[in-house]
Amino acid sequence: MFNYVVRRLVYGFVTLLALSIIVFSMLQMSGGGPLDRLKSNPRIDQAFIQQVTEFYGLDQPAYKQYLTWGGKYLQGDWGISFQGTQPVAELIGSRLFSTLRLMFTALALSVMIGIPLGIYQAMRQYSFFDQLGTTAAFVTFSTPIFIIAIGLQLLFAVYFERWTGVKLVYTAGMNSSSYDELGTLAKLGDTVQHLALPAISIAVISIAIYSRFQRASMLEVWHSDYLRTAKAKGLPRRRVILKHALRNALIPVVTLISLDIAAVIGGAIITETIFGWPGLGRLYITAIGQLDYPLVMAIVMAIGIGVVIMNLIADIAYGFLDPRVRYD
pLDDT tens digits, residue range 38-71?
666 667 777 777 777 777 777 788 888 888 888 8
Mean pLDDT over each residue of the chain, to the nearest integer: 83
**Residue 326 included in any domain:** no
What residues pair up with 87 in beta bridges, in sequence order? 80
Cβ pair 294, 66 in contact under 8 A: no
Rounded distance between C-alpha atoms, residue 13 and residue 65, angstroms: 20
**Residue 328 included in any domain:** no
Q: How many domains does the chain have?
A: 1
**Residue 327 included in any domain:** no
Q: Provide φ and ψ at 87, rounded to 5°.
A: -60, 145
Round the CA-based radius of gyration of the chain to a whole number and report it.
24
**Residue 13 included in any domain:** yes
**Residue 99 included in any domain:** yes
In the prediction, which pLDDT does 174 show? Answer: 86
| 139 vs 51, residue with greater confidence | 139
Instruction: State pTM to two decimals.
Output: 0.80
DSSP secondary structure code for residue 120 in this structure: H
Mean pLDDT, range 11-18, rounded to an integer: 89
| Residue 326: band (very low, low, confident or very high) from pLDDT cuts 50, 70, 90 | low
Cβ pair 321, 248 in contact under 8 A: yes
Is the pLDDT at 117 greater than 70, yes or no? yes
| 303 vs 110, residue with greater confidence | 110
Cβ pair 115, 214 in contact under 8 A: yes
Rounded distance between C-alpha atoms, residue 279 and residue 272, angstroms: 7
Range(s) of the domain holding residue 127: 2-321
**Residue 20 included in any domain:** yes
Rounded distance between C-alpha atoms, residue 318 and residue 85, angstroms: 45
**Residue 7 included in any domain:** yes
Q: What is the CATH number of the domain that holds 13?
A: 1.10.3720.10
Rounded distance between C-alpha atoms, residue 99 and residue 105, angstroms: 10
Alpha helices in the chain (DSSP H): 2-28, 36-39, 46-55, 62-74, 88-123, 128-141, 145-152, 160-164, 184-222, 225-232, 237-239, 246-275, 280-289, 293-321
Rounded distance between C-alpha atoms, residue 158 and residue 151, angstroms: 10
Cβ pair 28, 62 in contact under 8 A: yes
Contacting residues for 74 by C-beta, under 8 A, at least 6 apart: none
Element containing residue 268 per DSSP (H, E)? helix 246-275
CB atoms within 10 A of CB 170: 20
Q: Provide φ and ψ at 29, rounded to 5°.
A: -90, 5
